[in-house]
Structure formats: C-alpha cells, structure tokens
Homo-oligomer: A and B are copies of this chain.
C-alpha cells in the first residue's frame, strides 16, 4: 500500500464516498486511486470555490462530510470563500490539498507561497489543519480529519498532502470511523433554563446551525409551545425544515434596523446552536448587537454540544415532550400575472414547488419577497448557502444538494451578481445531470450595495457611482451563459412566462435555468436607511 492508497482507505473507511475536485499535478497519484475505485463518486469542478460550496451543500443534505481534493496553496485559496461559508454554517468537511514533496518545499518552487506555507493559509479558515510528513502519516491524519470533521455540528478539516507522501509505502491507516460523542448539556444548565422559561418574562429560543431542522427543531418547537416562548432562527439558516406542516420558526431579519425592531420585545434569549445575534457590519449611529439592552442571553447548547440531547433533556424538564405545536398551513397563492417581480417569482414557487424539494436561496435582496411567499409552499428543505456572508455559494450548493439527494428536486433561487462568482458550477450541474432548476433572478445590479451606499452617500448616485454597483453595460445573458456550459435555458420577462417555464422545468428531471428578468423596487430599502433624504 502506498500513501495515496492509505489516504483513500482512511477516507472511505470513514464513510466519505463523495469527492468534489479540481486536481493538479501534485494530486495525480491520489486521483489515480480515486478513479480506480468504485467506492468514491468524484465530481469534477472547474474552479475550486464550486468544489467547496458543493461539499457544503452535500454535507447539509447528506448529514455527513464529503471531501474536496484541491491543488496546492492557490487551489485551496480559490476554495476559501465557500469553505468559510461552510465553517460558519458548522458543516463537516474534509479537504485534501496536494503539495510539493516534503524534500522539495525548501527549494521554493513557484507554487510555494511568498510568505508562508499552505498550512498557514488553511489554518485561518479551518478548525483542524495538518500536513503529512510521511506516507503512513497521510493515511493516519486522513482518518483523524474524517473523525474530527464530525465533532459537534461539524468542523472544517484540512490535510495537506505532499506528493512523496502519496507514492511512498505506507501502513494501513487506523480506524477512526466511529462518530465522535458530543458532550451533553449539564443538569445544572437544563435546570437553569427550565427556570428561565417559567419566570414569566418575554422569552425567545434562538436556534442556529443544525438545530434548525429535524428532531432538534421539533423539540425546540415543543418547548416553545409548552412554555410560551417564541421560536426564532438565525438570520442565516444552514438548513431549515419548511413549508406545509413544518414547525414555525421566525428568522431574525438581516437588516439592522429591522432586526432591532424585531428583537425589541424580548427580555430573555435562550441559544441552541446559535451565537448572540449581531449586525453583519457596524454602521455609524447604530448598535452592533441585535439583542436589546437588558435582555439576558443564556446558552442551552453550543454547536459543540449534543444539541438534540440538550433539547430532549430540556423538553423533559419542562414537560414539553410531545406537546402539540403549531404547524405551517399550505398557502393558497394565486398564479401571478403581469410584471415579473421577486414577489411574482415567490408566488409561482408557492404554487409549484414540489413536495420534498430542496430550495437553495442565494436571492439576496430579491429573496425577501420569495422567502415570505414560499413559507406556505409544499413541505421542503430550505438552505441558505452563504452563512459566512460570502457570495457565490448558491450554484455550488445546488450541485452538492443534488448529488446528496438524487431523488429530490433542487430549486436554486439565484441572484445574478452572486451567480457570476461561481458560474462554473453550471458545467458540473450539466455534467452530473443534476436535477437542478436554477431560477436566475436578474436585476443587473449588486442591489444590496445601492442600499448600503445610501447610508454613506451625500446627494443622488452619480453615474460613476452607479457604474461600480450595477451589472449593466453590458448586461449578462444568462441563457447564453447556461447554454455555453450545457444547461438548457430559457428567459422569462413576464410573470406568466415565468410561471409556465417553471412549471415545465419542475415537471421534468435534469438541469435547467430560467433567467427571470425581474423588476425590483428598491425604494422601501432605501427609505429604511435614509429616512426622508433622497
């Protein structure tokens, strides 16, 4: 057995059977082994941010890590933005990064970074980073990485793999396949929080990370129902049970002004898998905390605890086990007509989204309307890909989710500016014949920046300013973009056209893109931050 074979054995023994990759010279020995086995599905991505984003989407839906295979420091660097999104979403992931031979790094060949090593780069965005120094260590560290990636809700683990570690002889790696046990919340914590929930104060339970779906959110809803607390969710939900019959979770608004108003009533906040909510960016004259003054914040369980057990124990303590909870009713949305707005897109989705679909939402400003309107669609999983705030996660997530759940329809609600970041994912979607319908919401703008610019500008936007915020001159033709990469595409300019095209796309399997040329009214946003000013 050589190091490459040991590496493959360690990963597959740990159940990592899906690989998203853009390989290079230093990974040839391992790639050869990957191609020889039937135990790994390897998906070629044409830029690394697609690989890391797809691994994130995969992990959220499969409930277990995929691994990426990346080429040296710069290939890893290309993956960082979506790696960061995954890290902030607390998703498990293992990255294998090829590197120069251990004995050649000191010669400073051109891939060596000018002021450090791959591990220096990796450490900043990974929870666990190691570099193998021998072939046997390569297998052993891979086993550890796979194990560590499943600590708590999930960790980003990056293993740097020099070429000589691939070709040198290795011993078989140790078996680290057992799921690591996460610590339970203490009885004292459970008791304290049970007490808080009975003290009559206005209370919210705030769930985040993987506590927003499955058993966790069901238990949280039972506790909320029993104790009269409200059930809230993180602004950025990695994966949310949603649609008809789901429990009702209100997410904290992103926009600072809206969030402050939303949170104002609460006197107590109980966190499970969530951090204290804060604004994304500070603004002059606004607080950075979304928690009102005087509101106490108590943690039931962090992402490193066994969150399900913590909720189970708390439900027992407050007598909430099996409490009946309010369920989302199916909304009867009219089929939209006329101008194609984000709201019209939301209406069509509400009508047409099939049972058990996966809705990936990188619609940014256009998502406010669609989010509200799809609440009462048929039951679905909702993924917010950009949990770390980096754009360009939507299309890769759609790919990863479709690989994880080949029998489910994936609908990607995708803003144009963000889509452009990782348009390469379209090619992998086409190649894998992934069952993805991309609803490309085209507003020819980084609309969110018009809104943010309104906070700082004096007077009207000049054309020089607009040119730095808009994607017109030229506009991007997403039908041609999709077709260039093998994804069949069409364009909708009215609500009727969109509805009909969406219906057709959802009725068949396989990749499809609909360019929705939407008309968007930014005035409500602008008024929010500029008061009476123009």
Contacts and interface: CB of A to CB of B under 8 A. Distances in A.
Contact of A453 (B28, B116, B127): B28
A46 B417 contact: yes
Contacts of A392: 47, 78
A282 B47 contact: no
Contact of A456 (B32, B236, B473): B32
Interface in A465-489: 465, 467-468, 471, 473-481, 483-486
B289 A107 contact: yes
Contact of A126 (B85, B115, B427, B486): B115
B81 A74 contact: yes
Interface string A368-401: 0000000000000000000111101000000000
Contacts of A111: 280-281, 388-390
Interface in A258-304: 275-276, 278-282, 284, 288-289
B84 A74 contact: yes
A506 interface: no
A233 to B, nearest CB: 14
Interface stretch (A97-105, A306-314, A516-524): A97-105
A121 interface: yes
B104 A288 contact: yes
Interface in A55-112: 72-75, 77-78, 80-81, 84-85, 87-88, 100-101, 103-104, 107-111
Contacts of A73: 80, 84, 124
A282 to B, nearest CB: 4
A120 interface: yes
Interface in A195-210: none
Nearest to A483: B480
18 contacts: A25-B452, A26-B281, A34-B468, A46-B420, A75-B390, A78-B80, A78-B392, A80-B121, A101-B282, A109-B278, A109-B389, A110-B389, A111-B280, A115-B125, A115-B127, A427-B471, A475-B486, A477-B485
A189 to B, nearest CB: 22
Contacts of A103: 282, 288
B281 A25 contact: yes
The complex is assembled from copies of this chain, and their number is: 2
Given A100-B282, A125-B121, A484-B484, A167 B456 contact: yes
A457 interface: yes
A116 B108 CA distance: 25
Interface in A98-157: 100-101, 103-104, 107-111, 113-117, 120-121, 123-127, 156
A226 interface: no
Contacts of A275: 108
A156 B114 contact: yes
Bin chain A's interface residue count.
35 or more
Nearest to A155: B114
Given A100-B281, A164-B284, A477-B484, 19 more contacts: A23-B449, A28-B449, A46-B471, A75-B81, A77-B81, A78-B80, A104-B288, A107-B289, A109-B281, A110-B388, A114-B126, A115-B126, A121-B121, A121-B124, A430-B474, A431-B473, A477-B483, A481-B481, A484-B484
A406 to B, nearest CB: 18
A261 to B, nearest CB: 19
A448 interface: yes
Interface string A425-436: 001001100000
A24 interface: yes
A462 interface: yes
A88 to B, nearest CB: 5
A49 B78 contact: yes
A44 B107 contact: no
A5 interface: no
A181 interface: no
A400 to B, nearest CB: 18
B88 A84 contact: no
A317 interface: no
A530 interface: no
A250 interface: no
A501 interface: no
Contacts of A25: 280-281, 448-449, 452
Nearest to A98: B281
